[in-house]
Chain A
């Protein structure tokens, strides 16, 4: 979160590459209206076949590429070169465990399905995210060392989350999984410490375990725990000083440092507020002066900030409203 830096500079140097997969109602377009019923897949049955098909093609592609690369220069000159396919290359990286899967998921059948496809095709699922029914297959995930990142207490907003329970993170933790709390909601993300705290209430995790859900555990999932996720000599100076126990609703971040740089403090925030107030006043006065001097005016125009979600696709127009 290097606020103010350009996008490229926000990237963490040396971080391994990931890819997002998805399962469930988004994939099968369940909530896209009656017009969207033709694109394959429309069921979880079809979703399995999409994955098997893709990895089958990736394996064949790799074989072809390898066979071509082994040909002599002379033979290559006359052989038909296989066409480079960037999508399949990404899947080959997964098969070699150099790119990691983060998979959006909800119900146990599909989680089980992808893990079985992974066994069969010989790749690993790094993390299931959302995974509200992870508690139903925690033993199977444990056997394969899959990470779980979940919402704390969301449920009942669509059919695939009818069996979601807030005890999910606690059950998976007790079963021995590496568990994190996630949110794809911009507002909730700024209170992720409080979302983690709910695992003390629901399921009786210790406060230490709850704090790990939003610190070292997700760092491990991202293969970045050598650099972040805990306060230790040699690690990145990404630290927060809280006014209270960070699991408490009464805690405020008093100081926030990223890479050792102070990006927020309650004190400097007050100074920034004063700056904004002064600037607003200056602009208002300037506009009033211009208006008196006969400048043309126009009615106010609303500007709305939009929040983007994990399944925001083709909704850019709606969001702009």
Chain B
């Protein structure tokens, strides 16, 4: 009997190591009360010694402790004293869940063949069983926008939450955006190529733009056709751009490409556009302001684009956009973007080191992306009535020196903070007798 008991204990001990992707948390059963923490609302407001209460996934109170007068009995208490409370961070424009291991083709589902694929949807490829996902949650990233890559019209993105059984369970907003990789205006040629290659590429660009224009024109006309029309999947997929139900994300970095792409979209009747990348957005601030175009700023941990650029140009771009009154949020696009997405908070930290206030930087990874993706009624800030999607950290979340997530909730569900990596850590600490 004693042997069996020990064996059972040993099994229990082995469980975390086996469960590499923890089971998603069940629906919030009991109201939760977090007290004593510094509340960072996400909209710029900071509330010291705050009380935050939530039930059935929704915030029932988020404000100063003094304002919470309800009976505390019946709540599950979480002591947030000395800690900071934030909205769950939102990672826009990412291949998270679409790519597991970049170098293994079989695990890469981010780019479809062909250049005009507006009907392709990232959502159905989003893999909730990827062991990368939990490693983002433990750093505070709780929502993401899996986005297809490549081509011209690369397909549609969706917004998902990062603790789910399957993609249907994960979806927060399905198919909210179309993504257009704007053809490069300045054509670069390989030194080994001849002058004819340059001409070929310029021609290809012109062809691409003509094809795009034609497709958008057809899509606008197509939606006017009466019911019973012959179904065209591509044109149907573009319809939402003309009534504002979908956003057209224009992936462009170079200043003139930004202007060219926005003008193109507006001229063809697209209602909502945003620029993604925008590395040269600081050169076209007036244009962006006048046209009220938001920018999803590409990973700021980047080198300056030109020899003559300021060494901190990528770091200070958010502050330049802020000063100009332009809407923006921050992403982590680039090499190793899925596993690296766990550094999103530090991207915001860098923006704060180079000109933003810490609360502005927080907004750039919470409320701002929520507004851009049209999920801000429920997500992006901690206000009464909104979703209880939040992160508690023992120290400033935006600084790797202090980021230390002690609890995380999505829609009131308390997440496991276990990952494949914490399991391996324990396994080898035990091997060396270090724990």
Which residues of A approach B to under 8 Å, CB–CB?
A: 25, 30-31, 135-136, 138-139, 153-159, 162-163, 165-167, 171, 174-175, 186-188, 191, 194, 197-198, 200-201, 203, 207, 245, 247-252, 269, 273, 276, 280, 300-305, 307, 317-318, 320-321
Contact = CB atoms under 8 A, between A and B. Distances in A.
Interface stretch (B216-224, B278-286, B332-340): B332-340
A300 B186 contact: yes
B188 A249 contact: no
Contact of A200 (B102, B190, B401): B401
A249 B308 contact: no
Contact of B424 (A156, A165, A301, A317): A165
Contacts of B353: 249-252
Interface of B: 100-104, 132, 186-192, 301-303, 305-308, 310-311, 335-336, 338-340, 342-343, 346, 349-350, 352-353, 398-404, 421-422, 424-425, 428-429, 431-432, 434
Given A154-B336, A158-B101, A269-B311, A307 B303 contact: yes
Contacts, number: 123
Nearest to A307: B303
B190 A248 contact: no
A250 B357 CA distance: 11
Given A157-B103, A157-B339, A250-B399, A317 B190 contact: yes
Overall SS of chain B's interface: loop
A141 B100 CA distance: 31
A249 B104 contact: no
Given A139-B432, A191-B301, A321-B190, 11 more contacts: A135-B424, A138-B428, A154-B339, A157-B102, A197-B400, A200-B401, A249-B400, A301-B186, A305-B303, A317-B190, A320-B190
A194 B308 contact: no
A155 B340 CA distance: 8
A303 B402 CA distance: 40
Nearest to A136: B428
Contact of A175 (B102, B422, B432): B432
Closest 3 CB pairs between A and B?
A249-B349, A158-B103, A167-B425
Contact of B104 (A154, A158, A301): A158
A300 B100 CA distance: 40
A305 B187 CA distance: 15
A186 B421 CA distance: 26
A249 B336 CA distance: 21
A171 B301 contact: no
A276 B104 contact: no
Contacts of A305: 303, 305-307
7 contacts: A157-B335, A159-B101, A175-B432, A201-B401, A249-B352, A249-B400, A250-B399
A165 B100 CA distance: 16
B132 A156 contact: yes
B346 A249 contact: yes
A200 B422 CA distance: 15
A194 B400 contact: yes
A302 B190 contact: no
B434 A171 contact: yes
Contacts of B305: 305
A153 B342 contact: yes
Which of B307, B404, B421 has the largest count of A CB atoms less than 10 A from its CB?
B421
A201 B400 contact: yes
B188 to A, nearest CB: 5
B192 A317 contact: yes
A285 B400 CA distance: 46
Contact of B310 (A175, A186, A273): A273
Contacts of A155: 339, 421
Count chain B CB atoms within 10 A of each CB in A203, A247, A248 and give the residue with the most.
A248
Contacts of B402: 248
A198 B428 contact: no
Contacts of B431: 139
A156 B421 contact: no
Contacts of A163: 424
B137 to A, nearest CB: 14
Contact of B186 (A166, A252, A302): A302
Contacts of B188: 302, 304, 321
A162 B421 CA distance: 10
Contacts of A321: 188-190
A96 B307 CA distance: 44
Contacts of A320: 190-191
A118 to B, nearest CB: 22
Contacts of A153: 342-343
A197 B303 contact: no
Contacts of B311: 269
A135 B422 CA distance: 13
A301 B189 CA distance: 10
A166 B190 CA distance: 38
Nearest to A166: B421
A178 to B, nearest CB: 16
A187 B302 CA distance: 6
Nearest to A247: B401
A41 to B, nearest CB: 18
B13 to A, nearest CB: 19
Nearest to B395: A201
A250 B349 contact: yes
Contacts of A135: 424, 428
Contact of B432 (A165, A166, A171, A248): A171
A132 to B, nearest CB: 11
A176 B305 CA distance: 41
A250 B434 contact: no
B434 A174 contact: yes
A321 B303 CA distance: 17
A186 B101 contact: no
Contacts of A307: 303
B190 A138 contact: no
Contacts of A245: 401
B326 to A, nearest CB: 23
A191 to B, nearest CB: 7
Contacts of A158: 101-104
A249 B301 contact: no
A159 B101 CA distance: 7
Contacts of B102: 156-158
B425 A203 contact: yes
Contacts of A175: 432, 434
A252 B186 CA distance: 34
A188 B301 contact: yes
A203 B435 CA distance: 11
B201 to A, nearest CB: 11
Contacts of A162: 101
Contacts of A167: 421-422, 424-425
